[in-house]
Chains A and B, each alone.
Chain A
């Protein structure tokens, strides 16, 4: 059986909020190393991969591997019932019909308990290799969100060019064009605002802005976001969570017609 106690119900809330607009239903794969999730959007051009390691929970108990097929809409509804600082406990049998969520208020003795019916989800599971990316850009999550939001007003897609000088987000739209240039930047006082570029070779790729905007819904999870690019390879957008956990998005580049 599974029993996972999460100090911050808010974490799960944010994760689910971030991905519920990308996928509808997905399997939460629980094993002794933690809870993992991998799902693709309907068009199969974007993939979300989440890993909540067992260290994020206290305690974490998972006797055998369980796949919890959950409709994210339902999960959102239930999670909405949790206060930000509630303690969340996930429970499931070994062959579960439902997943049980318990919210404990740390200040009061209020305990709320919900069951969500599980579903059988037949999902393609992709093996994603560890890749050495040609360019890795770390920037404030809010900054990336802003870039995407601003540029999406102009165009459907953005080209990300990364060179020694910095990274350039460039778009061409019907009403005009826009570009945002970021240079590496270090602020010792506020490391959150750092922009770091780790470059082995220059890359230039084009991506759908709508998807990027969608990914940015995870911005609340982490101060920094990491963009990893290599030519002809999907973009990796990673939000690092505490205790080695992460939320990653992959997006296939636009190849061919330059817009």
Chain B
């Protein structure tokens, strides 16, 4: 299997806190990987390092065999790594549809065009098709600021997905989503991801979600990966159960 992402010996500290400590991992094509771990264990830092928001103090990051260490988020995104955010990062004064159109036009590299219209027939059709996949129907014309949190989380992922990435990084896709909604949100997301075959990594707090949707689980602690197993094996391990789930 092709290796999509490989991190080798990543290190990053914030003051005395080690957010990444000799962190190494390989993620293969088509995998859906869940990342769990307590607060401050370096989960989001890992996403920030991969996407170039932060630079590692040591170590290298390879994407499809090419080194991307130190590249700017824009360049990393252009290569095919898209991410979503724990707090949805959206264009709040534009409508859902317009958000999607902007994502699509940037994907096509035509965002500097000041003459032709953004709303072409083909682009509108593509935007509606993608939004529909993520369960958006009538809300397409709604201004994003007025969207409920579940809708924002979905749109945040939908925009990343619309960029056509080879690797999709999701930062806590169900945080802030009500317990009743979270499985619906995840069913939708994972359904689209499985269908497209895009390699995905998601950071998650909720163990039920991880157990249900991840094919492989990385357990983070103090900037290290302390366990790397399929969920079945992992959650059967009494040490892990005690460490993550706090069970006696």
Does B associate with A? no
